[in-house]
């Protein structure tokens, strides 16, 4: 969401369940959306976002092809390696390939489905691209720890999928340092393994490249001082977001609890709280 340019303040406010949050405190960490930025969620059920993403792309193609109101577009649909075993994902890939739907499934493959290592949850785990190719979908593997490499490999695929109106599949290899959630003791992996990946950290690698001169094989476009200033700036942005969220009001149950249930509310959609003989149910 940050990469989409969404204000960190409204994200933090949603994480903390405030009315100023991007879903007014009704969505939470797993259900955030932005109409402004065409960010379509945020879906809580692992794998369930893949048919939805396919549908967004279906609509984009429909607008281009049937309504003739839009340009060719492409939808990027993100999922983890834990989601690739869901049936919904297989159905989505089949539909996308059959119908020529411009959606790119990007597997953020960090090697763990919560606490279950990939070799314990996915058959043929060392060749995930087979799962795209099996459906006739162009499938590539990308080392996600090298940011420039990600751009160089992704750009042609995005262009191709948009141009040909075809789906794509990316096994984007990455890692996660923290636990899956707040309550994860991380007994399923060794500290050595985590340290090994920290040694190939993608941000550290990029920084190294940007700091090094061109003679040393880098770009030499920022200095140590600029890097320090940048870190401070980021810290400030984060702290501002935390302050904003902490000082934001909780959603008001009087107004926010029942709104946004229906786009077109009507009488008697829900059991009513006031009865015909004048009594009122105090519990509704």
Q: Which of residues 224-283 bind another protein (CB under 8 A)?
A: 244, 247-249, 251, 256, 259-264, 266-272, 275-277, 279, 281
Give whichever of 190 and 270 is closer to another protein, judged by the CB atom: 270
- For the segment 74-113, give every residue that binds another protein (CB under 8 A): 87-88, 90-92, 94-95, 98-99
CB of 275 to another protein, least distance (A): 5
The answer to whether 48 contacts another protein (rule: CB under 8 A) is yes
CB of 187 to another protein, least distance (A): 30
The answer to whether 29 contacts another protein (rule: CB under 8 A) is no
Structure tokens at 36: 């402004």
The answer to whether 10 contacts another protein (rule: CB under 8 A) is yes
- For the segment 168-207, give every residue that binds another protein (CB under 8 A): none
The answer to whether 4 contacts another protein (rule: CB under 8 A) is no
Residues with Cβ within 8 Å of residue 95, at least 6 apart in sequence = 51, 54, 101
The rounded distance, in Å, linking the Cα atoms of 210 and 72 is 35
Give whichever of 190 and 272 is closer to another protein, judged by the CB atom: 272
The answer to whether 62 contacts another protein (rule: CB under 8 A) is yes
The answer to whether 66 contacts another protein (rule: CB under 8 A) is yes
CB of 104 to another protein, least distance (A): 14
């Amino acid at each position: 969401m940050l990469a989409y340019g969404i204000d960190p303040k409204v994200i933090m406010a949603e994480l903390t369940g405030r009315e100023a949050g991007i879903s007014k405190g009704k969505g939470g960490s797993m259900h955030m959306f932005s109409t402004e930025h065409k960010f379509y969620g945020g879906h809580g059920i692992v794998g369930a976002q893949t048919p939805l993403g396919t549908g967004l792309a279906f609509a984009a193609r429909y607008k281009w092809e049937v309504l003739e109101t839009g340009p060719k577009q492409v939808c990027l649909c993100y999922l983890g390696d834990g989601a690739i075993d869901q049936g919904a994902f297989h159905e989505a890939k089949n539909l996308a390939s059959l119908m020529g739907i411009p959606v790119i499934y990007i597997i953020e493959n960090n090697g763990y489905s919560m606490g279950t290592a990939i070799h314990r949850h996915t058959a043929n785990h060392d060749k995930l691209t087979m799962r795209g190719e099996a459906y006739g979908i162009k499938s590539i593997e990308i080392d996600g720890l090298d940011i420039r490499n990600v751009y160089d490999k992704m750009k042609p695929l995005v262009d191709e999928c948009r141009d040909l109106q075809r789906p794509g599949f990316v096994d984007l290899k990455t890692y996660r340092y923290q636990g899956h959630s707040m309550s994860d003791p991380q007994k399923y992996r060794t500290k050595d393994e985590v340290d090994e990946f920290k040694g190939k950290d993608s941000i550290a690698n990029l920084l190294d490249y940007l700091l090094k001169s061109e003679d040393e094989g880098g770009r030499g476009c920022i200095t140590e001082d600029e890097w320090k200033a940048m870190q401070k700036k980021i810290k400030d942005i984060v702290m501002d977001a935390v302050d904003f969220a902490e000082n934001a009001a909780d959603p008001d149950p009087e107004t926010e609890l029942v709104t946004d249930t229906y786009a077109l509310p009507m009488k008697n959609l829900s059991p009513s709280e006031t009865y015909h003989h004048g009594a009122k149910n105090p519990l509704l």
